[in-house]
Amino acid sequence: MSLSVGDRAPEFSLPDQDKQVVSLADLRGAPVLVVFYPFAFSGICTGELCQLRDELAAYTDAGVRVLAISTDPVFSLKAFKAQENLEFPLLSDFWPHGEVAKAYGVFNEKAGMALRGTFLVDADGAIAFAEVNSPGDARQQSGWKDAVAQLAA
């Protein structure tokens, strides 16, 4: 079961594409958009993250930090970030495999991957927006932007 609006966001510390640990707790005081995706280099995921890259100012201008999380190893994430010129951290939930995705209720046990879960965590650590899509179901990012606008209002 995934998280709902109002729930406390589970804390996590994960390595990014450069093996630098990023902790949700360290970002407290600012909203954070947490975007889970199945796999680096896959078609839908690449399209979603490139759209996020192209529209990143809609989030950063509102003071929102963006973190993308998959169960890929850091080496894949480093290559993916470089290839697509992504300007936000790609975090590896590789080991223990999918533990953070499990905590957010977006881990597909049979496939060993994260679902398309999107969570806007407010400055106090509560979920302000939550959406979970199936692996083949691309997300519409307009809902994320509306949630950011409401949070900023």
The whole-number pLDDT of residue 101 equals 97
Catalytic residue among 3, 24, 34, 45: 45
The whole-number pLDDT of residue 127 equals 97
The whole-number pLDDT of residue 7 equals 96
CA distance 21 to 92: 10
Successive 10-residue mean pLDDT values, the chain, 153 residues: 90 98 97 97 95 95 96 98 98 97 96 95 96 86 87 76
Structure token pair of residue 81:
């970030």
For domain 13-152, is the CATH number 1.10.10.10? no
The whole-number pLDDT of residue 122 equals 96
Give residue-wise pLDDT tens across range 19-50.
999 999 999 999 999 999 999 999 999 999 99
> What is the pTM assigned to this prediction?
0.95
The whole-number pLDDT of residue 91 equals 98
Instruction: Give a three-class secondary structure readout of 90-124.
Output: EEECCCCCCHHHHHCCCEECCCCEECEEEEEECCC
The whole-number pLDDT of residue 1 equals 67
Does residue 50 carry a catalytic annotation?
no
CA distance 119 to 32: 8
